[in-house]
Amino acid sequence: MDEPTPLAAGAELSALAITLLKGVIYREGDERLWGALLGLQARVRDTVAVLGLELVLDEAEGYAFLKSRPEPDAEEAAPRLPRLVARRPLSFPVSLLLALLRKKLAESDAGGGDTRLVLTREDIVELVRVFLPDSSNEARLIDQIDTHLNKVIELGFVRRLKAAGGPSGFEVRRILKAFVDAQWLADFDTRLAAYQAQLAGATGAIDGTENE
């Protein structure tokens, strides 16, 4: 296979940097772009480092995204750069839903089944219901959970599946593992107890689930 010309490689590098600045690159979404990223990842890392970003690439799981580099310590001479990728505090219910989905993903992996975790709307409602304030209005409760689920979809952690020609429901994207890690899950039960103590409309982001 012929090596790409410097001009072609430069165009691919630009396409990769722009696509990553817009969001996540998935192997399944664009095999050609994913292949280009694997071949040019060292140059991509150098390019985004100038912007104070670093490339997170998980070849086994098939995703890549950019996150802000750690800020220098106060005693370090390096200047603090403006954040290009903003932190977005998540509401308590959205943070809770992300945590529950991450635990479900870990349970699925431990079971050795399908690498894809697909849940129905009813599955997700039942996951969250027990941790939300009691409501006599079932329709209103489901509407609230749908709102939180839509936010998680918007953040890119869940993908809505179409029924025609495949499974219906919602696929939990494996990129969630990069935002809610195993160490966080080790304290999951303790954190849930704390969440239940805040059920009176408390809000805030879970450590490690901010969208980089």
Pick the CATH number of 92-196 from 1.10.3470, 2.60.40, 1.10.540, 1.10.10: 1.10.10
Q: Give the 3-state secondary structure percentages of the chain, helix then strand then coil, rounded to 5.
A: 45, 10, 40
Residue 92 has pLDDT above 50, yes or no: yes
Residue of higher predicted confidence among 179 and 202: 179
Residue at token pair 């994913």? 34
Prediction pTM value: 0.70
The domain locations on the chain are 6-68, 92-196
* CATH 1.10.10 is right for the domain spanning 6-68: yes
The HSE-up count of residue 103 (CA atoms within 13 Å, CB side) is 16
Highest mean pLDDT among 79-83, 123-127, 165-169: 123-127
pLDDT in tens, 17-45: 999 988 899 998 899 999 999 999 999 99
SS3 53: strand
pLDDT band at 202 (very low <50, low <70, confident <90, very high): very low
Nearest to 4 by CA among 46, 36, 50: 36
Same fold, 6-68 and 92-196: yes
- From residue 48, give the alpha-carbon distance in Å to each of 43, 53, 62, 66, 88: 9, 5, 20, 8, 21
Look at residue 134 in the predicted model and tell me its pLDDT: 67
Q: How far apart are CA 137 and CA 141, in angstroms?
A: 6
Residue 161 backbone phi and psi in degrees, to 5: -100, 145
* Residue 10 region by backbone torsions, left for phi larger than 0, else alpha for psi between -120 and 50, else beta: alpha
Number of Cβ within 10 Å of residue 178's Cβ equals 17
Residue 11 has pLDDT above 90, yes or no: no
